[in-house]
Structure 1
């Protein structure tokens, strides 16, 4: 019997994320462009604490394109990153042999159906963490709550509100403001520890897709898939088999493009993580975002290898 395909990459690959943040942060200190951008601010950044223009009032028109919040990759990729993750993830489940129910025996269909359900559960767990961290946690999201707990507030907007309302009203508003509401009110999120949502989301998205793609790819490359393929080839001369052949070709194309989409999202996600490491947030804010993301990946993809009861629930990609 052939050895089973490796279902997932080694956890060591996750070291690419702290290394990326470290290199980006160091580059932001060493680079003349980054230093000149910070030197043009009204409130210069503390040493070894590179941050985004919006946080430290850097130049309104940063020299580097990726230091601008309005850059096209930030607007149409990072800001809607969970949509890109969902589309890429769905393409794996729809087209990869690890999950595809077409041209499979009854026993294989049961295995693939179980894999699909567990894959969906893994996506749901990651989505819940993303939603609670960045969107809503019984009110403001975890990122917003941590910012306010550490002394942050929506400075400019609250100053305006305080002039028109009583002190108690402004304090109440301060406790319910989210970063999005603050921006919409024309204020600036200042003063607290602002966990990097960009780092959190980009690490979680790229790591999730890598683990899922490697697991699904291992099944496709497994020698155990050969007999099934050979059986389809032997039926090629049968006229009744032609529609299935067309279907196999269609799914073959889908397999190829689903992997291209996944790895495209991963590569672009890593690049934007590197740009975030250079231009956005302080070191501690970036590393706190990284910690939340890697903790989530550990629970979903690493812990099941060591805890069989948890593996029976969430499974492992390709297993």
Structure 2
């Protein structure tokens, strides 16, 4: 008697608890550590257009004790501020070098169709996560959602408004500046973007990026790992002749190739550094509520894209699941 087909190996939903645990640990450290005494940074520096949060008014002292509390630390400048570039590079390397999506060996038409479907669905999942990041932190028919929320909760460009207000009748209207400025233009003009609820774009971006790469990497690696330990989706049922086309990854020698190994190292390197910078953000940047607001948006998107399709067949048919 044939047994039910086993579910594909993937990250469990409980794995998402690592993110609130990280923020909680960082928040506790910021309270208990004598060196973690956040203060406002009054300096104004230009903001990168690819910065993860356009409304990021970081809570830093002017002379931070910890290296990671400095906005100009090398990891913040060359990793976090261009974090989606690293995320995209790691994701593309996974698509190019994982045998789940590509192969140089001769393939039947059914194998080609399966790989094409997997690739298309993986790109769709990446696109959906990217849209959430972009609309939240970069652009939403003008200012990003984070900027709009900041202004809606009373935020404004304080110092610039004061300076323009002292210009006299020939100056611009401060009310206009308050309405038009985004965090990027405010800081570039020498103002201080303060007064509202500043959802942490760092937290939002880092959670989205690390979750995306983790789910995709585990899904792409699972068939090879199952094959190594002699476990396949055919376990417990009679193997049919047509199964040779339905599960081509397990028999491919490319699963241990040099390129695939380094692609996975890049992916997990980005995930590891992303988690570390999330922990540093939890300690040094933003208020408690601002960090958890960013986490809520990110986890809602991740749950919808990677967990919900396991229960909804209609959604799974469209965006698929990593490794399936």
TM over 0.5: yes
Taking the aligned partners of 1:78 and 1:4, their CA distance within structure 2 comes to 38
Gaps of 5+ in 1: 43-52, 234-247
Structure 2 unpaired stretches of 5+: 43-55, 234-242
The answer to whether the Cα contact below 8 Å between 2:100 and 2:249 also exists between their aligned partners in 1 is no
Q: Is 1:96–2:98 an aligned residue pair? A: yes
| Aligned CA-pair RMSD | 2.7
2:18 to 16, 19, 35: 16
1:188 to 189, 192, 201: 192
Measure the CA separation in 2 of the matches of 1:66 and 1:200. Answer: 18
In structure 2, distance between residues paired with 1:75 and 1:229: 39
Partner of 1:77: 79
Q: Give TM-score, length-normalised by structure 1.
A: 0.84
1:119 equivalent in structure 2: 122
2:75 counterpart of 1:66: no
Report the alpha carbon displacement of residue 77 of structure 1 after superposing the two structures with TM: 0.4
Query: What's the CA shift for 1:175?
Result: 1.3
Q: Does 1:203 align with 2:207?
A: yes
2:283 matched to which residue of 1?
278
TM superposition shift of 1:230:
9.8
CA distance in 1, matches of 2:154, 2:252: 65
For 1:194 and 1:270, locate their aligned partners in 2 and report how far apart those are by CA, in whole Å. Answer: 21
The secondary structure found in structure 2 opposite 1:164 is coil
Partner residue in 2 for 1:105: 108
Aligned length: 291
Q: 2:127 aligned with 1:128, yes or no? A: no
* Distance in 1 of aligned mates of 2:89 and 2:41: 39
In the alignment, the residues of structure 2 paired with residue 232 and residue 297 of structure 1 have an alpha-carbon distance, to the nearest angstrom, of 30
How far did residue 176 of structure 1 move?
1.8
Q: Which residue of 2 aligns with 1:151?
A: 154
Aligned-pair CA distance for 1:161: 2.0
TM-score, normalising length: structure 2: 0.83
CA distance in 1, matches of 2:168, 2:304: 46
Cα offset for 1:232? 7.6
CA 186–214 in structure 1, closer or farther in 2 if over 3 Å, else same: same
Q: Deviations over 1:30-65 (max 9, x none)?
A: 001113x65x989xxxxxxxxxx9645x43120100
Q: 1:97 to 1:192 in 2, by over 3 A?
A: same
CA separation in 2, counterparts of 1:175 and 1:297? 32
Deviations 1:112-153 (Å, cap 9, x if unpaired)?
110000101111111111110000111100010110000011
Q: Corresponding residue for 1:45?
A: none
